[in-house]
Every structure is written in structure tokens, then in C-alpha cells.
Amino acid sequence: MNSWEPKIIAFLCNWCSYGAADLAGVSRLPYPANIRVIRVPCSGRINPKFILAALRHGADGVWVSGCHPGDCHYIEGNYYARRKFALLKNFLEYTGIEPGRLHFSWISSAEASKFAETAREVVEAVRSVGPARHFIKTKPMWDDVEAPVNAACQAEVG
Amino acid sequence: MEAYTKKIREAAQRLLAEKKVDGVIGFRQGTIPMMSEPVFIRHVDQVNQLVWNSFCGVNLANYLVKRKDRVAVVAKGCDSRNIVLQIQENQFQRQQIYILGAPCHGMVDRRKVWAFLQGREPVQVTENGSQLQVSGKGFDEVLPRQEFLQENCRICTHRNPVLYDELLGEEVPEQSDVDRYEDVRRVEAMTPEERWRHFEDLLAPCIRCYACRNACPMCYCPTCFVDESRPQWVGKTLDATDTRTFHLLRAFHLAGRCTDCGACERACPMNIPVRQLTKKLEKDVKALYGYEAGLVVEGRPPLDTYRPDDPQDFIK
Ligand code: SF4
Ligand code: SF4
Ligand code: SF4
């Protein structure tokens, strides 16, 4: 039996998607528990570093959600974010990250049902690509390198 | 190409004598063949050190960032585009920099010549129009220059400086029938797993010396993300995940800013084709936002602006 459950880091904008998550909770709309929410002031605040950091810390997927175009609390933060994400998503996928791992959405604070629905979609997409091992360090590197070398030296000197 | 040498010396002499600039940034002969090195000339009696040849591939725009003085600089097509970007990014005022534009015939990749020589040591390398004359102990070779160009020069479409105060020679014809993204498309056609492995192999020799970063005129953050420690975005080890993180972020920081000058690749001691990362971003920026880095000073860089109707089919 496979007990693996995808772990997803969701960066939610304080002014919209975070509110939607809250409303979904209050309205008792079910959505999967695989989402770990990090509240950010604006989707424009998301730095590509954050997304890589999430993957490096063991997330299987990353979801960024902000306000619909035109609705940004800071007027235009999400417009800049959109360009950044378009390039970033293409770029990470170009280097081998599966398309199912990175997700972006616009969800207003009133759209609780869109939030719950998108959460389900994201979880299923990540589940279908499986655990992310790309950015997980697996080897204690110097041991790996040194052990055979030491053994070889030992063998030589007898 | 060597004809520029005289012009550069004359211009340096004149500009320094008239006190128009505090110094001239150009190239001088390196200590071994095919390694012309950057030089900063401050006095008229030093101008004869200045040279120009096919080995001036270093991007001199790298020495302009945050300058307070006035300098003249020799700039190839790509260098001039980096200067345009640096002006856009407020690294200095346009009037501080006197640009000696060098219409470029492409720079020679010393590694390709070394590879051709198969271990024979070149003692003297000179050029004669489209030919390179390489000689050493017991050999004398004449090589077609065109076949030994740097990879980025082979596909360069902006050889003429886009911004200059004076030109050192006639404009050169631009290459129009080149395919800039052949290698990018080849990677795009792979499966995600193949792509991951492709870059795993490509980056495996990296020793994280950061020469690629240091050689790039667009990498000038006072604190590079690789040196940040709270939080630490990139580990200090040579683990493949750390190396990958470095390369992904480095390339992404060049999105919409890289001019494909090749200085990064040229500087890499491990011969890693790091341009394969930046070129993908260049290709996408062009396709999505119709922008090519560093062609005009006016306007905002692509990631510092937006259009309400930018593509967003990837957003739910
Ligand atoms: S990239 Fe273009 S302008 Fe720059 S050195 Fe090569 S051919 Fe010249
Ligand atoms: S990333 Fe490389 S090719 Fe691009 S501007 Fe920097 S040094 Fe030049
Ligand atoms: S110059 Fe080459 S070896 Fe050094 S950090 Fe860059 S890619 Fe790695």
C-alpha cells in the first residue's frame, strides 16, 4: 500500500486567495489537507527563490494564487507577477520539472468554491506526477567520494 | 579587425589629451596567445598598449557598473547592448561613458583552436582577414576564422553597436539567416525526465567558481543570492541540487537582460554551455513580449512593465 500523500506549498495573497481559503473553511467547503498555506502580501511578492526553496524543503508541488487582473490591492502587483510566472513556469519545465508541479491561479476573496475546486485540481495534478525528488539532497557527498578513494589507497599501501 | 587598433589608439590619445575622459577601457595583448586582456589606460603615454583582434571576447561593459568617473570604452555589438541595459538600470549616466563602437566580425573561441591543435602549443597566433595563422614548435597552420568563432558569435544578429559616440570602422552586414534557438528547441522536444537528465549532465562538471556570474556585465547585485545566509537560498556544497539551484536562479536573473554576449561561457573553466539556460529565457521573452534586450534605451525592461492583456493561459 502506498501511503504517500503530496505536500503542496500554497502562496496565497492576503487580499484575495487567502480570504477565499478562509471563506471556504467558514462555509465548510471541503478541500484536501495536502495544502500548506503561506500568506503573502501580494502575488507580486513571490520571488522565484521561494518556489525553489519550497521544492528544496520537500514540497511536491507549489501553488501561487493572487487577485484577478485589475483587482490587485496594490493596483498592478499581479500584472508584474504574471510576466514573472509565465517565464518561470516555462523555464523550470524546460529544465525538467514536470508540468504538474507548478500551479498559478487568480481567486478573489469571494470565490470560496473556486478555491476548494482549484485546491482539489492542484492536489490531483501533483499526485499524478508523484513525489518530487529533484531538489532533495540524497547523498552525503564527500563520504561517497572519499570512501572508495581511501579504500584504493589502503589497497595500494597494503 | 586589427585595423581598429590604430583607430582605438588615436581615439584614446585624443580623448585623454583633451581631458574628455579619465580613462579608456580596452584590450591589450595577453601573456599567452589568444588571450587579449582588458586594460584600463589613464595616461596618453600608455595608449600604445591598446590592441584589437579576434580574441577580445571579454565584455568590457562589466567594468562600467556604478562608475563615478568618465571613461571611454571599446564596445562590440553585444557590449553596446549591455551598456544600453546598464543605462536603463541606472548604473551610470549616458554622458559619463564615451563609446568607441566596434562593428564586430565575431570573436574566436580559443578553445576551438586548442582543440584543433590537439595538444600542440600555439606560440604565435595572428590574423589576416578571414584567416588565422597559428604557429608553434614544428607547425604552421592557416585556419578559416569563421569556423573557429565562439558559439554565440556564430548566431549573433547584432554585430553592429546599437549605441556609440564614434565608430571604429564601417558597419558590418548583420547575419540574418541564422537559427538562434536550435539547441533550445532540441531540449524542448525532450520529455521532462530527459530534460532533467540533460541539464544534470550539462551542469555536472560545475565547480561553482562563479566565474560565469562575475564575467557577466548584468550580474552586479551588491549581495548575490548565493551569498545570502538568512535565509540561505542556495547551499554551499557541490551537491547537484545546490549547483542546479544556483544555475536556475542565475539564469532567471538574466531574463530579459541577457544579450547573449557569451562572456559567461567564455569565462567558465569547465567549459559548461551555460547559455543554454539563458537562451531559453531570451526565446520566451521574445515570443511572449516581443522584446529583445538592450536595443533601445527608451522604454522599460520586460519584467518591469506589463500589458493588461499579457498571455495567461497557464493561470487557472
Ligand atoms: S556576440 Fe555578436 S557582437 Fe558580440 S562578439 Fe560575438 S559577433 Fe561580436
Ligand atoms: S548571461 Fe552570459 S551571455 Fe548573457 S549577458 Fe551575461 S555574460 Fe552575456
Ligand atoms: S563558471 Fe562554470 S564552473 Fe564556474 S560556476 Fe559558472 S558554470 Fe560553474
Pairwise CA distance, residues B260 & B275, whole Å? 7
What pLDDT digit, counting tens, does each position of B219-276 carry? 999 999 999 998 999 999 889 999 999 999 999 999 999 999 999 999 999 999 999 9
Residue contact B195–A86, C-beta within 8 A: no
E strand map for chain A? 8-13, 35-40, 61-66, 102-106
pTM of the model: 0.92
pLDDT band (50, 70, 90) for residue A5: very high
In chain A, pLDDT over 70 holds for what percent of residues? Answer: 94
Output DSSP code: residue B149.
B
Q: Spell out which residues of chain A touch residue B304, defining contact as CB-CB under 8 Å.
A: 80
Pairwise CA distance, residues A43 & A28, whole Å? 26
Residues of chain B with pLDDT under 70: 1-2
What pLDDT digit, counting tens, does each position of A89-133 carry? 999 999 999 999 999 999 999 999 999 999 999 999 999 999 998
What pLDDT digit, counting tens, does each position of A33-83 carry? 999 999 999 999 999 999 999 999 999 999 999 999 988 999 999 999 999
Pairwise CA distance, residues B303 & A87, whole Å? 10
Pairing outcome for strands A102-106 and A35-40? unpaired
The minimal CB distance from A95 to the residues B233, B248, B315 is found for B248
Can you give the pLDDT at residue A138? 74
- Closest by CA to B7, choosing from B164, B133, B217, B127, is B164
pLDDT band (50, 70, 90) for residue A143: low
Which atom of ligand 2 is closest in space to residue B219's alpha carbon?
A: 6
**Cα dihedral across residues B109, B112, B114, B116: positive or negative:** negative
Q: What are phi and psi of B71, to 5 degrees?
A: -135, 155
Assembly ipTM: 0.92
Residue of A nearest to B186 (CA): A94
Can you give the pLDDT at residue A141? 54
Determine whether B186 is exposed, middle or buried from the number of CB atoms within 10 Å of its CB (0-12, 13-18, 19+). Answer: exposed
Residue from A76, A78, A95, A104 whose CB has the most chain B CBs within 10 Å, to mutate: A95
**In whole angstroms, how far apart are CA B153 and each of A154, B115, B150?**
50, 18, 5
Contacts of B139 (CB under 8 A, 6+ apart): B117, B120
What pLDDT digit, counting tens, does each position of B121-136 carry? 999 999 988 999 999 9
Can you give the pLDDT at residue B8? 97
Chain B, window 147-186: residues with a beta carbon less than 8 angstroms from a chain A beta carbon = 184
Domains of chain A: 8-156 (3.40.50)
Can you give the pLDDT at residue A3? 85
For chains A and B, CB pairs below 8 A equal: 116
Residue position matching grid coordinates 591589450: B28
Contacts of B190 (CB under 8 A, 6+ apart): B198
pLDDT band (50, 70, 90) for residue A145: low
Pocket probe mutation, ligand 3, options B111, B202, B208, B213, max atoms within 8 Å of Cβ: B208
pLDDT band (50, 70, 90) for residue A154: confident
Per-domain residue ranges for chain B?
1-106+154-178, 179-303
Can you give the pLDDT at residue A144? 65
- Closest by CA to A9, choosing from A61, A58, A47, is A61
| Residue A120, C-alpha cell as written in the block | 482539489
**Cα dihedral across residues A107, A87, B254, A55: positive or negative:** positive
Can you give the pLDDT at residue A139? 60
| Residue B216, C-alpha cell as written in the block | 557577466
